[in-house]
């Protein structure tokens, strides 16, 4: 056993840079894991500033100073937040209220359909099974109502926290953009002078992560817009709410599109039944998903991420359980980080001796 551990150590940790890099990774991971709730606004600001750096560079090329460029980008961010708060959020709120108001009628219609199943398929479905399903649905709806009430009671504290973050986030993004060189220089003072391994990993990640996140934002906006236009032209109820869900579903590969299909199909069925409108809507929805998987994804993410589907699903589950929505969104970049570290990890004495032989 001791020989195995010595062999593993000689293989992976004979280079001093490897030890330093491993120490940085462990300390950083522990800090994020332990303090993720407190560090989340800072991490979000760092991510936004990192993604907006490209726009700052473009503005600097037309002879604008870094401070002016950072101010312009921050102003665009604030404008987008205000539009979301005063235009998008009220519309979504109205549609959610309408959905809850129409929920009893939808449930009544669904109950009638379920109660007809034992008559149409007596050998497969019994009345007792249908009653158990309805009881379970009533229980879940009751618990959902309790959660909504408890959420509303704590909404005052949540609103205050949200307003604080709403002010702090643009400020942090502005200073991260304006004083980027100063902040990076300060951080570099804590790192060793010889940073070959860090530079190797960062060189691979810089292009991949930035391209992935920017591409994912573009994909969400395109799918959201296309779905809204299709749903609105078809006259589907809750078009904005459902199209937003469809747009956000692309964040979770393989799973998101499957999950969001259920509410789209249910709303369309309760509105039209099994009619031509229902068929046309589902056909258009399937066409949007087809274009996303066969046109947008190859176009936006060509050679950016080279991960096996199993690795992607495991990353989504793992990081989503740690950090919720943000963990799901950044699961693939984080998995790409791990892959880059594994590829860039220096060869130890064992590999060097084999190469010499």
What pLDDT is recorded for position 11? 62
Cα–Cα distance for residue pair 265/283, rounded to 1 Å: 11
Exposure pattern of 40-78 as b/e (b: 16+ CB <10 Å)? eeeeebebbbbebbeebeebeeeeeebeebbbebbeebe
Q: Which position has the higher pLDDT, 13 or 74?
A: 74
Phi, then psi, of 52 in degrees rounded to 5? -85, -5
Average pLDDT score over residue span 41-63: 83
Phi, then psi, of 250 in degrees rounded to 5? -70, -10
Structure tokens at 198: 């860090």
Q: What is the DSSP string of 225-277?
A: HHHHHHHHHHT-TTHHHHHHHHHHHTTSTTTHHHHHHHHHHHHHHHHH-SSHH
Please give the model's pTM, rounded to 2 decimal places. 0.70
Residue spans of the domains in the chain: they are 17-183, 195-348
What pLDDT is recorded for position 226? 93
Structure tokens at 219: 């994909």
pLDDT for 137 beyond 90? no
What pLDDT is recorded for position 37? 62
The string of pLDDT tens digits covering residues 111-120 is 777 777 777 7
What pLDDT is recorded for position 52? 84
């Amino acid at each position: 056993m001791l020989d195995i551990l010595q062999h593993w150590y000689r293989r992976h940790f004979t280079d001093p840079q490897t030890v330093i890099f491993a120490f940085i990774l462990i300390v950083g991971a522990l800090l994020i894991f332990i303090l993720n709730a407190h560090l989340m606004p800072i991490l979000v600001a760092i991510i936004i500033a990192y993604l907006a750096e490209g726009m700052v560079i473009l503005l600097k090329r037309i002879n604008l100073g870094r401070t002016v460029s950072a101010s312009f980008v921050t102003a665009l961010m604030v404008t987008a937040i205000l539009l979301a708060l005063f235009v998008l959020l009220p519309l979504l709120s109205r549609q959610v209220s309408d959905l809850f108001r129409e929920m009893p009628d939808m449930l009544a219609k669904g109950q009638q359909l379920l109660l007809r199943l034992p008559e149409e398929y007596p050998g497969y479905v019994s009345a007792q099974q249908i009653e158990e399903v309805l009881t379970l649905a009533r229980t879940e709806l009751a618990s959902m109502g309790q959660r909504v009430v408890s959420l509303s009671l704590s909404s005052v504290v949540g609103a205050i926290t949200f307003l604080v973050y709403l002010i702090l986030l643009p400020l942090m993004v502005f200073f991260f953009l304006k004083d980027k060189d100063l902040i990076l220089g300060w951080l570099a003072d804590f790192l060793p002078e010889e940073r070959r391994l860090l530079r190797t990993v960062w060189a691979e990640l810089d292009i991949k992560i930035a391209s992935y996140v920017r591409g994912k934002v573009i994909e969400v906006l395109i799918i959201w817009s296309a779905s809204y236009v299709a749903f609105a032209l078809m006259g589907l109820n809750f078009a904005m709410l459902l199209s937003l869900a469809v747009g956000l579903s692309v964040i979770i590969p393989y799973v998101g599109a499957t999950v969001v299909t259920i509410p789209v199909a249910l709303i369309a069925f309760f509105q039209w039944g099994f009619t031509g409108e229902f068929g046309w809507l589902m056909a258009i929805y399937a066409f949007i998903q087809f274009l996303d998987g066969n046109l947008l994804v190859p176009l936006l993410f060509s050679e950016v991420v080279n991960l096996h589907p199993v690795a992607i699903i495991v990353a989504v589950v793992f990081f989503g359980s740690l950090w919720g929505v943000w963990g799901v969104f950044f699961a693939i970049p984080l998995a790409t980080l791990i892959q880059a570290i594994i590829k860039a990890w220096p060869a130890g004495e064992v590999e060097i001796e084999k190469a010499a032989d």
